Structures are given as C-alpha cells and as structure tokens.
Structure 1
Amino acid sequence: MAELKIDTNDANEIIDISNRINAAIPASFSNGICHLFCTHTTAAITVTEKMDPDVKHDIIAKLDKMIPAKEPYYLHSGGNSAAHIKTILVGSSLSIPIKNGNLELGPWQGVCLCEFDGPRSRKVKVVCQKLEE
C-alpha cells in the first residue's frame, strides 16, 4: 500500500493526481485494480475532466451554489459543515482498472482530489490488487 501526500493551496480546489497514482503502482503490476481512499471528511476523490480547467471551476461553482458555506441551520461548530456535505456527495473512494501498469482511464479523464476545506495537507491511500490473467 502506498500513501500520497497532497498539499492544497485553496479553500476549494480540484487537483489532478493521476500521474502520482500511476507512479505509485508497483512496477510488477500488469493488470489489476487500483483502490483509492481519501482519509479525510472534508476532501474527496473522483474521476473528472482533466484537460479543461473551466470544468473544475464549474464543478466547484455548482457545489458552492447547491451547498452554501454558511446556513443558519448548520449545527457543527467547526464552521465547515458545507465541506463535509460536499465530501459525502463526491465520495471518498474509487476503484479503477490497471492495464499495462497504468490506470485505465479515458483520454479526458483524470483522478482528482477535491479540496473543500483548505488549504491543507491531504492523504490518499493507494492499494493495488493483481488480477489473474
């Protein structure tokens, strides 16, 4: 198992970590499954468009509109209830096929860490499982 450390720079940010995950896949792997788990309650992990930065902006803008930072009915004293809600909606884990030693993603896809309460230092666990050929 590998662990990636990702330092975020903004309160809300989407960072492509695909290359870092590919680098964490053991050299002995040909085909299998890569399981990813984000170990935080205010950051998430997803697959999305990696080429156009406007897509990342649009995702954050829509989530902010759907889930405002402050609501009178939020009870959590940490002031980051919106970040917790966004994380639940986006998710904390992924499983992606490995083919020829790399993540088998579409040409426009990237695995992205979604920061909702930054800037912070985040961790993503990477577990690779071989499949019989």
Structure 2
Amino acid sequence: MEEIRIRTHRRGEMLDITDRVREIVSRLGMDEGVVVLQSLHTTAALTINENADPAVVHDLLGKLERLVPKDEAFYRHDEGNSDSHLKTSFFGPSLTVIVSGGQPVLGTWQGIWFCEFDGPRERRVAVQLLRA
C-alpha cells in the first residue's frame, strides 16, 4: 500500500490527484489491474469528474453548499461539521480505477479528485494496486 499526503487550504475544495495516482502506478510498474483509492477521513471524499474546466469544480462546490449548508437547526454533532460528514457520504470515501497499458483508464476530460469538506487539514489517501 502507498499513501498520498495532501495539504488542503480551504474548508471546501477539490484537488486533482490524477498525476499523483499515475506516478504511483508507473513507479510500481503495474501494467494491468485496478488501483483502489480510499480517503482515510470521515469529512473528505473522492470522485472522478472533469479536470479540464475549473468552472466545474466551482459549480460542484457551490451546489453542494446550497444542498447541504454548514448550519442547520437539526444538526446534533457537536463539532460543527455535520455538513462535511453528509457531503462525504454523498460522494463516498473510495474509488476503484481500471489500469491498462500502465495507465489509469480515464475518459478524455476525467480526473481523480480529492474532495475536502472540513479543511484546512493534512489528509491522507490510501492507494492499493491489484494486478490482473
């Protein structure tokens, strides 16, 4: 297992980790198989989405804030980050990506994103390669 360490700078942000995943796949010499990625946090998630136009990330984070606001009268969690836990559950903590020809299989505009919902923080993503 490998780890990707990430330093986030805002409460809500999305960081493209595609190149870091590619580097691990390449360095470990995997030609065919899958790479499993897992956020090791309850207030940070992973997703695959467009990585060409930064407006997409802006739109995603903006819509999430409207759908799941930071403060709601019914929240009971004392830490004040119930919204972050909900957003993480909606996105999910892990991804499985096919690897073929030594590269993660992604569409033309797809990238692998780390989603921070309770930053800024130091974060970790576990990376496990499973060879075919």
1:3 counterpart residue number: 3
Q: Which runs of 5+ in 1 are unaligned?
A: none
Q: 1:1-133 counterparts in 2 under 5 A?
A: 1-25=1-25, 26-131=27-132
Q: How far apart are residue 27 of structure 1 and its match?
A: 3.6
Moved over 4 A (4+): none
Q: Is the 8 A contact 1:27 1:101 kept in 2?
A: no
SS in 2 for 1:19: helix
Q: How far apart are residue 72 of structure 1 and its match?
A: 0.9
Q: How far apart are residue 32 of structure 1 and its match?
A: 0.5
**TM-score w.r.t. length of structure 2:** 0.97
Q: How far apart are residue 20 of structure 1 and its match?
A: 0.3
State the distance in 1 between where 2:68 and 2:33 align: 37
Q: How far apart are residue 24 of structure 1 and its match?
A: 1.1
SS in 2 for 1:111: strand
State the distance in 2 between where 1:69 and 1:47 align: 24
Q: Which runs of 5+ in 2 are unaligned?
A: none
Q: Is the 8 A contact 1:15 1:113 kept in 2?
A: yes
Q: How far apart are residue 100 of structure 1 and its match?
A: 1.5
Q: What amino acid is the match of 2:15?
A: I
- Identity among equivalent positions (%) equals 40
SS in 2 for 1:47: strand
User: For residues 60-81 of structure 1, what are the alpha-carbon distances to aligned partners after superposition, in whole Å with 9 as ceiling and x for unaligned?
Assistant: 1111000010011100000000
Count of residues in Structure 1 that have an aligned counterpart in Structure 2 = 131
Q: How far apart are residue 28 of structure 1 and its match?
A: 2.5
**TM-score w.r.t. length of structure 1:** 0.96
